[in-house]
Amino acid sequence: MNILVKRFFPVLALSALVAATQLSSANAAPALSTVESDELEMSYSLVTSEFYKKVDPQVLLDGARTELVAYLEKNGVKSPNLPVLHAAEDPTVNARELEREVSAVVTTYGARFGSRNLTYEAIGGMLASCKDKYTTFLTPKEYAELNEGLDGGNFSGVGISISVDDKSKLLKVNEVIPGGPAEKAGLQADDTITEIDGRSTRGLSTDDDAKLLRGKEGTQVRLQIERDGAMIAPVLVTRAVIHQPSVYSRLLDNGIGYARLTVFGSNTASELTQALTKLEAQGAKAYILDLRDNGGGYLNAAIDVSSKFIPSGPIVSVESRGGSNTQYDAEDTAIAPKPLAVLVNQYTASASEITSGAIQDDGVGELIGEKTYGKGVVQTIHPLPDGSAVKITSARYLTPRGRDINQIGIVPDIVTVEPKGAQLGNPATDTQLQSAITYLQGKLAQLGT
């Protein structure tokens, strides 16, 4: 998520990164391209300067060598002969030592395995030697998928989020994307899609269902819908290009506005602002912010989201290597105060925990659900020239009251267990949501509204 804090990932400008970290590659062996040499040097420089704990240069070099040996042996090379690496005090010398090692491997085995793959293995091994599960190498495909997950991707479809109902094994509509084709055709959250173009959805996976629902822009798909236990007339939906949102919202009974955040991406704060504005216009008297299963995202998104409910004061403190501490305060964008419940569970992590911790510490809302994941460290993602990237844990964060929740998590104010098979967001089966509604109804009764 993930990010980067699940994702938070402040991304540095590549031009500035290159200027700050690029080392001379004049002595690089010809087996490596200039890009590959630069990526090795940049990765070494970044992990030694930005990892939130001091790292042993010899450990990094050994990590690269060990990973290369393991990769070659796994792919049929018996007893690969790789030079032993010796770290020096000068980081430039160490970066060149790493470069020479990979060059030697590429010279011997590059024709079989490719210089790019071997370079990736060396960088990955170096980062893995930090023994931090969040400090990793991302291939171009993995980095693109991460960005798409955080910032939303575009696809041609009908505009719904889906799941498979545990009991009926039929396709369930979780959310309908506002303004999308499905909403225009009259589909609603909690509808059951029994057939797609005449094919039963019973027993299909969500991937299978998604393939049937997606298609070329402008084409139509025929859906058979079951609503509230009764079949309704088939619905024709014209596919269109959809941008996957990160915020889903609707007004529940008794004037309770519900907003579920799937990730803390670059558009999340603006999407939440639009959702809250719409709910306010519909007469919302209280709010539920659902952060369950939200693995995190960008630090600035967590600050922006928190600022919608916290009018002033600290949101989070970030402690970097060497003990330097940066406090981020609310941005004076808060909505009018109303009763607030925040839903959390064991998969509420990272940026989600920043927002949860800030709301709990500030006292503007009640956390309901189960203890959160406990990811209190921050990652910085650095793009590399070929589209790959290195993700490095660069800091830890503390809640406004100075709590370090890493590997501890946040205990909610009202503990409610999530039952197996619950349909999150459906008041009929979601006991945590029911608990939040009950809490808010009590608050509204106290206020006489």
* String of DSSP letters for 295-351: --B-HHHHHHHHHTT--SSEEEEEEETTS-EEEEE--S-PPPP--EEEEE-TT--TH
The answer to whether position 119 is within a domain reads yes
pLDDT for residue 143 is more than 80 = yes
Residues 52-62 have pLDDT tens digits of: 999 999 999 99
CB 21 within 8 A of CB 46: yes
Question: What is the pLDDT of the chain when averaged over all its residues?
Answer: 90
Q: Are residues 238 and 288 in the same domain?
A: no
Compute the CA torsion angle 92, 98, 99, 102 (nearest 10 deg).
Answer: 180
**Predicted pLDDT at 432:** 97
Catalytic residue list contains 375: yes
Query: Helix crossing, 299-307 with 351-362: angle to 10°?
Result: 30
Q: Are residues 239 and 253 in the same domain?
A: no
Domain boundary, last residue among 190, 211, 243: 243
Which strand (E) or helix (H) includes residue 186? Answer: none
CA dist 401 → 362, 363, 397, 423 (Å):
9, 11, 11, 34
Model confidence at 4, pLDDT cuts 50, 70, 90, reads low
Residues 309-367 have pLDDT tens digits of: 999 999 999 998 877 899 999 999 999 999 999 999 999 999 999 999 999 999 999 99
**Predicted pLDDT at 386:** 96
Range 304-312 average pLDDT: 98
Closest to 61 measured CA to CA, from 34, 87, 41: 87
**Predicted pLDDT at 19:** 33
Domain boundary, last residue among 83, 104, 137: 137
- CATH code for the domain of 230: 2.30.42.10
CB 260 within 8 A of CB 287: no
| Domain count across the chain | 3
Model confidence at 163, pLDDT cuts 50, 70, 90, reads confident
Catalytic residue list contains 350: yes
The answer to whether position 9 is within a domain reads no
The answer to whether position 24 is within a domain reads yes
**Minimum mean pLDDT among 17-31, 139-153, 298-312: which range?**
17-31
pTM of the model: 0.81
pLDDT for residue 11 is more than 70 = no
Residues 116-139 have pLDDT tens digits of: 999 999 999 999 999 999 999 999
Domain that holds residue 367: 247-447
**Predicted pLDDT at 300:** 96
Instruction: Output the DSSP codes for 118-132.
Output: HHHHHHHHHHHTT--
Q: Are residues 315 and 427 in the same domain?
A: yes
**Predicted pLDDT at 80:** 93
How far apart, in whole angstroms, are the C-alpha atoms of residue 194 and residue 198? 9
Domain boundary, last residue among 243, 264, 296: 243
Annotated catalytic residue: which of 6, 308, 338, 375? 375
Read off the tokens for 20: 């700050």
Annotated catalytic residue: which of 191, 293, 361, 430? 361
Annotated catalytic residue: which of 350, 352, 356, 435? 350
